[in-house]
Amino acid sequence: MQPPAELVHWMFATGFLLLGLCLLAQALVGEDVWRQRPWRAYVWPGLAFLMGVLMWPVMVFYTNSTIHMVAHGSWAQVMMLAGGAELGLVRGKLKNSYWRLTMPLAFLVSGTALLIHEQNGWLFARAAFLHHLIGWLMITGAIFPLVSVFRPRSAVWRSGFALTFVVLGVLLYCDRDVAPVFGHLSSQAGTPHR
């Protein structure tokens, strides 16, 4: 009764899309307006933390090699760390704003894990292409949360941070189990699905 792996990617894509929309709204209206309703301040950090928690069952049930397990485990940890740190800051349990550095750390760790655990070349299949693309997206996109730590009121950097999640969601929606990319599909990849 387990959903196929590509469907799990699409479920996470929906979570990242929603996360991106919330962050974009926050960037547009500013911190003061966003926090006028206390519950709203917890929405995106809570969502990030929840997705980190949900990454654990993905690690347990969907990984078929050590390197895949380590990659998924590292995503779970850094998502929980970044979401948890933001929750702590919102709640007031954490005082130092440098805890926000956990987010660029999460981006860097996630991107690196994506690139390291993808053993095939860019055009092996669509999944391989997307792993490379998402890996580099996360590594280069880390600049947005990093600068936002030092310029927290900059709408430009915060919007870039939000849009990185939106693009991540779109790329995850593109993922298929076995499918060609730009007409390329390695004969070793298997039979393409629909």
Q: Give 21 or 149: the residue with its C-beta nearer to other proteins.
A: 21
Q: Say whether residue 99 binds other proteins (CB under 8 A).
A: no
Among 25, 50, 105, 167, binds other proteins (CB under 8 A): 25
Cβ count near 87 (within 10 Å): 19
Task: State which of positions 137-176 bind other proteins (CB under 8 A).
Answer: 169, 173
Structure tokens that stand for 2 in this block: 């387990």
Residues 27-66 that bind other proteins (CB under 8 A): 28-29, 32-34, 36-37, 40, 43
Rounded Cα–Cα distance for residues 176 and 8 (Å) = 11
Residues in the chain: 194
Contact set with other proteins (CB under 8 A): 1, 3-4, 7, 10-11, 13-14, 17-18, 21-22, 24-25, 28-29, 32-34, 36-37, 40, 43, 169, 173, 194
